Structure 1
Amino acid sequence: MGFFYPHNIHPYTECQKRRNALELYAEHEKFRVIWDKEYNLMEFLQNIVFRESSRCAYCYHDRIKSTALLAKRGKFDYFTTTLLYSKFQNHEMIKSIGESLAKSTGIPFYYNDFRKGWKEGIEESKRLQLYRQQYCGCIYSEKDRFYK
């Protein structure tokens, strides 16, 4: 089961590309996806503007909390996040947030260092001709990728 939570993704066309890629992958692998139909980019931006240095912590918490609450409502056995696949994300922070939310929701957080499959994932996405994102999703990381 997957969950698509698009609130940090900018621009909207990028959000659509990612959604379409997940639809194709889910169909190929035959798993269901719960789609958050809202696109609350403005709310996301309001929470990070002038707090850019802590934007990732806010984003991680927002995304993982939404996932944990969905898992609780849906009576899932546990929850996790695809953030753990990226070698560019702060795993210790993600793990800490996940474990904290596990305590508050009563749903266990499944931690695994999915980065071990990084290269295989890239090859599989190319084989399936899936869109591959070039940045985490937020407008700041979109800018950063051009300045590196």
Structure 2
Amino acid sequence: MKLLLHTCCAPCSVQCVEALRAEDIRPDLFWYNPNIHPYTEYKARRDTLVQFTTDEGLDLHMEDDYGLRTFIAGVYPHFENRSDGEIPGEGPPDVTGSPRCAVCYRLRLDKTAAYAAAHGYDCFSTTLLISPYQKHDLIREVAEGMAGKYGVQFFYRDFRPGFREGQKQARERGFYMQKYCGCIFSEEERYLGKRE
């Protein structure tokens, strides 16, 4: 089976790759994460993933696009059309309860499924499925939609049972360990002490 595994970071990849190898599947990894901000965070996660794939002898395909504007425009479609940065309506919206996670998943999984279909992969999956902090059912729903859109199978696995062990192994290997999901809104929530 030729599987393309979208990956958000090296720490989340450790146990996903191990679980897949236990099923005799050697995934190729795919980096596309326009949601990760600021650039220093993006670079730290990307470079750590490059180190991981090199250490593991895995193939890594990269859409290396620091996508601040892509992500913001997706979350707030009219954002780029305003010189003052305000959203039409009653001023800047409250991000709490916004559909930002769905937009984020769609951006990344659309690109992953398209790449998988264009490059002869049988299926695709994502390391997002290991995090207990992500919206698991929404990830699956979005991924299945992208599978239908591009005619490539979505390979579902609930990797969450391996999350703590993967984090432990990543720390032991000296990987950069992020403190928030990746988007500027999750970073804000980290400092405000709340999680959506």
Question: Normalising TM by the smaller chain, what interval?
Answer: over 0.9
Q: Which runs of no fewer than 5 residues in structure 1 stay unpaired? A: none
Q: Which runs of 4+ in 1 moved over 6 A?
A: none
Cα deviation digits, residues 56-107 of structure 1 (max 9, x gap):
0000111111100000011101001111011101111111111111112111
Identity of aligned residues (%): 39
- Does structure 1 residue 97 correspond to structure 2 residue 142? yes
- Does structure 1 residue 8 correspond to structure 2 residue 35? yes
More strand by share: 2
- Does structure 1 residue 82 correspond to structure 2 residue 127? yes
The residue identity in structure 2 corresponding to 1:109 is: F
TM-score (norm. length: structure 1): 0.95
| Partner SS for 1:34 | strand
Partner of 2:103: 58
Partner of 1:107: 152
Q: Please identify the structure whose Cα radius of gyration is greater.
A: 2
TM-score (norm. length: structure 2): 0.73
Q: Structure 1 CA distance, aligned partners of 2:94 and 2:60?
A: 32
- Does structure 1 residue 26 correspond to structure 2 residue 30? no
The answer as to whether partners of 2:42 and 2:66 remain within 8 angstroms in 1 is: no
Q: Which runs of no fewer than 5 residues in structure 2 stay unpaired? A: 1-27, 77-92
Q: Cα RMSD over matched residues?
A: 1.2
The residue identity in structure 2 corresponding to 1:57 is: A
Q: Structure 2 CA distance, aligned partners of 1:11 and 1:24?
A: 20
Q: Structure 2 CA distance, aligned partners of 1:89 and 1:28?
A: 27
What's the offset of the Cα at 1:6?
Answer: 2.6
**Greater relative contact order (CA < 8 Å, ≥ 6 in sequence):** 2
